[in-house]
Amino acid sequence: MARMALDELRQLAEAVLRHHGFIEDQLRAIAATLVAGQRDECASHGLYRLLGIVATLKAGKVVPDAVPEVRDVAPAIVKVDARGGFSQLAFAAGLPLLEEKARRNGLAALAINRCVHFSALWIEIEALTERGLVALACNPTQAYVAPAGGRRPLFGTNPIAFGWPRSGREPFVFDFATSAVARGELELHRRAGKPLPDGWGVNAQGEPSQDARTVLEEGAMLTFGGHKGSALAAMIELLAGPLIGDLTSQESSAHDGGSGALPYHGELILALDPQCFLGSAVAEYQQRAEALFAGIQAQGARLPSQRRFEARARSDAQGVEVPDALLADVRALLNQPTNSSMCG
């Protein structure tokens, strides 16, 4: 393992992205997300993702110089056309108007269209909880996951995330895939040659498989909670697909055409303003929320994201660990020829 300061990690990520032709606004937004994932010890969403980002560019499935277009389409709705770029810059572009509309109306929605996506959703969620807003986000991916009772990929891993701001404390945040596990975890197991736990995936015949390559290339991942996770996955397909005028996971896979690029789709983000809902009673009801959190912890249970926040504090003080093999693979990207292939 190599230990790196967060700033050193950011500089490496930015250098790789710059070398491969991403414009400064894009690369800074992307690198910030990579560093945040590594910092919070979410390895499947950290520096490792640089490999997929560059592969997606070389496949012509992302636009490295995309400038998002923000559209004010309704009193409580913002739409951002990412124009084939990564989602990070599109979200940053739409965030100010989303916040303004949530303050004015009590709630507002941001729909991001035509974006390439690789990150965890808590990035967007925490940007809103930092502003005192309650937040919800979801998106499809590509068809990796079989519906309950099925055996062929249809749904994406379809994450959903929620955040509740807390005064003077880390927010209450959960962020999880509706699949049994994030796809990046399977990819890390394949890299390490480790068997998969039961319940993560099946082979082409629908039989349980512990082989990551088989699940990734021939079979399908599974939803968590059987039919319950399957229903949530379908809901996310609808909310962040047809509702916002974007692709389902199966359509995203068709767009990919077997290139193995990162998913291209849309994302839906909701922001709610407690002050607008509660007025002068906001402090009282925030205390009721705190009583709920205290009740959870009083039973010895852990609040979601608690482990991640603890990891963040360690990383801020000590830097992060990166596997030597991964670091070598990332640094090798600086020696690869650039590729100007783009999609629009």
> What secondary structure does DSSP assign to 166-205, as a single string?
-TTS--EEEEEESBSS-HHHHHHHHHHTPPPPTTSEE-TT
According to DSSP, the β-strands at 201-202 and 220-221 are: antiparallel
For residues 231 and 235, give the distance between their C-alpha atoms in angstroms, rounded to a whole number: 6
Catalytic residue among 14, 124, 126, 185: 185
44 has catalytic annotation: yes
Residue at token pair 């891993």? 157
Which among 112, 127, 164 has a CA at the least distance from the CA of 272? 164
Catalytic residue selected from 44, 170, 218, 321: 44
**CB–CB of 344/84 below 8 Å?**
yes
How large is the angle between the packed helices 49-58 and 24-39, nearest 10 degrees? 150
Nearest alpha-carbon partner for 62 in 258, 250, 264: 264
Question: Which is nearest to 60 in space by CA: 332, 265, 257?
Answer: 257
- Annotated active-site residue 189? The verdict is no
- The active-site residue, picked from 20, 45, 117, 189, is 45
Apex 17 CA angle, 157 and 113, nearest 5 = 45
Residue type, position 134, single letter? V
Our answer to whether residue 305 is catalytic in this structure is no
| Active site residue ranges | 44-45, 185
